[in-house]
Amino acid sequence: MPADSHTVNVPRFMAMKSQNRKITMLTAYDFPTAQMIDEAGVDSILVGDTLAVVMQGHATTISATLDQLIYHGEMVCRAVKRALVIVDMPFLSYQISLQKAIENAGRILKETGCQAVKLEGGEEQAGTIAGLVNAGIPVMAHVGLRPQSVNQSGYRVQRDEEKLLKDARAAEQAGAFGVVIECVPEDLAAKLTKTLSIPTIGIGAGTHCDGQVLVTYDMLGLTVGPIPRFVKRYADLNQNISNAISQYCKEVRTGDFPNDEHAYK
């Protein structure tokens, strides 16, 4: 395959909006999952700081570290041939100063091989987004519910239209190539999508965004316990895996596994 003929890069990702092609995005934190997602034809893979919740069992994303995002991002990038890979900037890796933000985002790009970073914020992060973009680092913004600010805002639907519009426009003007919109009423997300010339990627933001993102473990039914209303379960892997493991235990205990088929003669 010629090197770049089928890969999704930042310009192609952005062009999908004007081409009216819905953008698909899922999270991944490891090699095999990223490989499956990429081979299934998903346009973009996010190495999210949700790894702190999904992979590590924490209650929030706040504890995710830069080194962890780089560690997981590197595994994901090694698996991906087509999708645009975006790695999250974790809490306090971009808020302290522009210089720190550039150093940290630079490490993410250099050490993982991903094409872009994502950070939470709009208006108040506009200077940082512009600084990163000026340094040659593509940035996706994240407005609406910002899980890194959960201690200030909690997990609830964001309905402040003026703030959302200001945040999204500021991110666009600062040079962001796209924006995740999390937990926002559908009509408001539709308005943001119409207002912006960059793609909007919704999670809990209804059907009118330019694309959708979900946490892969949620949509595959791998996460245990309650899930947000906006998640659709496309599989029940938890149950499948649990059944397979019970069956394995049963067969080992009865002597049905291994049988002749699995033994060397």
Q: Which residues are catalytic?
A: 182
Least Å distance, CB 109 to ligand KIV, is: 18
- Taking the C-alpha atoms of 49, 54, 55 and 61 in order, what is their torsion angle to the nearest 10 degrees? 30
Least Å distance, CB 49 to ligand KIV, is: 5
The closest of 111, 65, 110 to 88, measured between CA atoms, is 65
* Choice from 28, 129, 203, 205 touching ligand KIV (CB under 6 A): 203
| R_g (Cα) of the chain, nearest Å | 20
Select 74 or 257, whichever has its Cβ closest to ligand KIV.
74
Select 214 or 249, whichever has its Cβ closest to ligand KIV.
214
Helix (H, G, I), strand (E, B) or coil at 187: helix
C-alpha–C-alpha distance, residues 102 and 202, integer Å: 26
Residue nearest to ligand KIV (CB): 48
Each residue 85-124 as x (binds ligand KIV by CB under 6 A) or -, in order, gives ---x------------------------------------
Assign residue 175 a region (left: φ > 0; alpha: ψ between -120 and 50; beta: otherwise): left
* Choice from 27, 44, 115, 193 touching ligand KIV (CB under 6 A): 27
Residue with tokens 């933000």: 101
Contact call for residues 219 and 31 (beta carbons, < 8 A): no
Select 50 or 188, whichever has its Cβ closest to ligand KIV.
50
Contact between 49 and ligand KIV by CB under 6 A: the answer reads yes
Q: Count Cβ atoms within 10 A of the Cβ of residue 164 and give its class: 0-12 exposed, 13-18 middle, 19 or more buried.
A: buried
Q: Tokens for 116?
A: 């872009």
Contact between 218 and ligand KIV by CB under 6 A: the answer reads no
Contact between 48 and ligand KIV by CB under 6 A: the answer reads yes
Q: Which residues bind ligand KIV (CB under 6 A)?
A: 27, 46, 48-50, 88, 180, 203, 213, 215
